[in-house]
Amino acid sequence: MRGKPSSRGCCWWFLVVVTLALVYDAIVYTVHKKTEKSEGAAPIPGPPGAIEKKYDDALKIAMQFFDIQKSGELGHSNRFSWRGDSALTDGSQAKLDLSKGMYDAGDLMKFGFPMAFTATVLSWAILEYGDQMAVVNQLDLAQDSLKWITDYLINAHPEENVLYIQVGDPEIDHGCWERPEVMSEKRPLTQINKSSPGTEVAAETAAALASASLVFKSDFRYSSTLLKHAKELFTFADKYRGSYSVSIPEVSTYYSSTGYGDELLWAASWLYHATGDKSYLQYVTGKNGEVFAQWGSPAWFSWDNKLAGTQVLLSRLTFFGNKDTANVGLQMYRKTAEAVMCSLIPDSPTATKSRTDSGLVWVNEWNALQNPVASAFLASLFSDYMLSSGTAKLLCNGYSYKPSDLRKFAKSQADYVLGNNPMRMSFLVGYGENYPQYVHHRGASIPADAKTGCKDGWTWLERKEPNPNVATGALVGGPFLNETFVDDRNNSMQAEPTTYNSAVIVGLLSGLVTTSSAVQSFT
């Protein structure tokens, strides 16, 4: 039979209860103090979590388009039987090797401005989400694609104040419909220099090389080379100010710039992250910020406008590093970034009205998907900054939103691209059961064994049959505002993919494929 409890046992249980109560009070007090400090600290994610299959599948598909766009000697890295070596003599007339790099879109041009933007965004994605890319075996591929561009950009900068910004003549190129492997037309070079400046292109290239220097920092020699060129190009861009659209009017037909101030701030921001040199931070927060930053005015992130990207990039300093509230300029970047985020959350009082009925952010009919995907990438980043820094709330005109609200928006844009739309179509070629079959892309539209060249190749553009080759991973232009899409090879407005579209969709999918803590410093 069970005996009466001893007095010693009774005291032991009493002490346990008292101790637990004290521990509980201590925990409550600690949580309360942390809550006071961060207005309700959000949970901090740990290492990469569970993989979300649809984003995993989509990321692996999206990454492949970089391979399709590669110029030069492909060698063992070639994953597509219908692609081969091309443009091997690019740059030879200037005694330069410009054979690498990537073709811009469905054509065979190398436009330096959007190509450099592609590299900068891809670098950013790797720096923020490299651990998540690695979990699904995409990090090495991303780095390889980035280096294919940065090798080209280094060679395109043979002197401090000279940068080759274009290979090929758009009129000649667009007068042909042929595979890159067989093109034999002249490939003239276009350069910017002291007398014909191109601040935006030089600065964007500086941003690309500075950010890439962080990606490849384990390779000291290569990283140092990248950073050397980045510094020289930024000095060139800043000292000899002028838009390349003005200096070289013929380039304005395709990638005309609306201004170079955003690229100067973007480049200086990346150089600060790459070097820690406070003069670059002063550059963006001082007079140049006052002139160019357009604080308080949210903008769309794109190959032409880097302001929103700059604001988010500099915001990470306020989340993880520089909490100096006396730095008014830095705080203004943070506030403007918050305004951008508030404009993206659908039920925010300051939400943009530029959306389709199904919720896709929609700004331009040409390449409509660039803006929503780029915006979603920034939202994913900002959400992760909030989570990892324990920042629970984003205030939008008195209304409070959580990091999860930003991630929900990012997912909504990704899901639309992948088929959750009224057309039930995936705009990422190769993903799902229903995706564009008539992509406006020369290589995809012509069989590898075709014997056609520049002029007779046009017959392949006009054919009624789907493309013989799948441009796997291509993110096409996307839908009209009324959510219709015409799958037609001649419809370059909607059916043409771009390499910089690939950069933003890879960045977005890398942020969604799983979760992990945002790195506090790139260096």
Residues with a known catalytic role? 440
- In the block, which residue shows the tokens 């090797």? 97
Question: How does 106-141 read in b/e, with b if 16+ C-beta sit within 10 Å?
Answer: bbbbbbbbbbbbbbbbbbbbbebbbbbbebbebbeb
Half-sphere CA count of 506, side-chain side, radius 13 A: 36
Q: Which two tokens stand for residue 79?
A: 């994953």
- In the block, which residue shows the tokens 């203004």? 332
Q: Contact at 8 Å (CB) between 489 and 106?
A: no
Which conformational region is residue 364 in: left (phi greater than 0), alpha (psi within -120 to 50 degrees), or beta? beta
d(CA 405, CA 401): 6
C-alpha closest to that of 135 among 222, 44, 46? 46
Sign of CA dihedral 404, 384, 304, 431: negative
219: which DSSP letter?
A: S
Q: Contact at 8 Å (CB) between 316 and 356?
A: no
Let me know if 144 is exposed, middle or buried by CB neighbors in 10 A (0-12, 13-18, 19+): middle
d(CA 41, CA 402): 11
Sign of CA dihedral 157, 159, 161, 165: negative
d(CA 523, CA 521): 6
Q: How many CB atoms lie within 10 A of CB 383?
A: 25
d(CA 252, CA 460): 29
d(CA 322, CA 331): 10
Q: How many CB atoms lie within 10 A of CB 204?
A: 34
To 5 degrees, how large is the angle CA 372–CA 377–CA 383? 120
d(CA 163, CA 205): 9
Q: Which residues fall within 8 angstroms of residue 187, CB to CB, at 6 or more apart? A: 87, 89, 90, 167, 168, 169
Q: Contact at 8 Å (CB) between 334 and 285?
A: no
Q: Which residues fall within 8 angstroms of residue 232, CB to CB, at 6 or more apart? A: 157, 160
